[in-house]
Amino acid sequence: MQLTLQLDATSRRPVVKLDWFNGCRALLDTGALFPVWTSDGKLLQQLGAKLEKEEVTFGGFGGKAKGSLYRVDFRLGELVFKDMPIVATDMKDLNCHLILSATMFDKMIYEIDAVNHKLNIDTRDNQPVRLLKISDDNGKISVYLAGTYENVEEYTQTVADNTFIDIVDTNGKSLSDEDLIKELF
């Protein structure tokens, strides 16, 4: 499946606008491992997100920051990220409301066309519904692609059939999402 999204032609960074998400702007950060909501989490809740854990510590090039972990049904064009993990942390001086992480595009070809100001995405399959889960890489958490589905119904049925989908960390342990959250935080 291929899709193309328009980029802000004036911004020096790749930014898309999410009309379905109240016109919020989203920046694609190819160095990021985790999707981020850059404003108050309560506003994210107004957009349907559910709070999973408060006071999560995150670090990156910008230094350490605290945030809260949420889950949200997110769409990017025709792609659907069901129950996507996302951290809300305040970044006032940023002209966007979300940061899209490189890990959201696992198993896809994505191209930032800085000449024509387009974000070209090819999933290499016909599976627009993507399931991201949290992984632990020696203390660093990120999201990874745990499943792809043809449609939301298939996703819902699969999740219903596999209430406890295992996560395998780098130490070989197998954990459910809930156990992993407890262990991490």
Partner 1 sequence: MAERLTREQMAKKYPNQWLGIKNVKYKNDDGITLESADVVDIGKTKEELLAMQIAGTDGIIGWYTTENNLQLGLVGVL
- DSSP class of residue 105? G
Per the document, the length of the chain is 185
- The first and second tokens of residue 121, run together, are 């995405």
CB 125 within 8 A of CB 64: no
- The first and second tokens of residue 96, run together, are 């966007």
Task: Give the range of 94-102, 125-133, 152-160, 170-178 binding partner 1 by CB under 8 A.
Answer: 94-102
**Residues 143-172 contacting partner 1, CB under 8 A:** none
- 15 touches partner 1 (CB under 8 A): yes
* Contacts of range 52-58, beta carbons closer than 8 Å, 24 or more positions apart: 52/85, 52/181, 53/181, 53/185, 55/185, 56/87, 56/185, 58/34, 58/87, 58/89
- The first and second tokens of residue 16, run together, are 């898309």
> According to CB under 8 A, which one of 49, 72, 129, 141 is a site residue for partner 1?
141
> According to CB under 8 A, which one of 14, 49, 52, 56 is a site residue for partner 1?
56
Least separation in angstroms between CB 9 and partner 1 = 4
> According to CB under 8 A, which one of 80, 87, 129, 167 is a site residue for partner 1?
87
Least separation in angstroms between CB 84 and partner 1 = 15
- 8 touches partner 1 (CB under 8 A): yes
> According to CB under 8 A, which one of 4, 142, 158, 176 is a site residue for partner 1?
142
What's at 139, amino acid-wise? G
Kind and range of the H or E element at 164? none
Q: What is the binding site for partner 1 (CB under 8 A)?
A: 6-13, 15-17, 19, 22-25, 27, 29, 31-34, 36, 39-40, 43, 46-47, 56-62, 64, 87, 91-97, 99, 101, 117, 139-142, 184
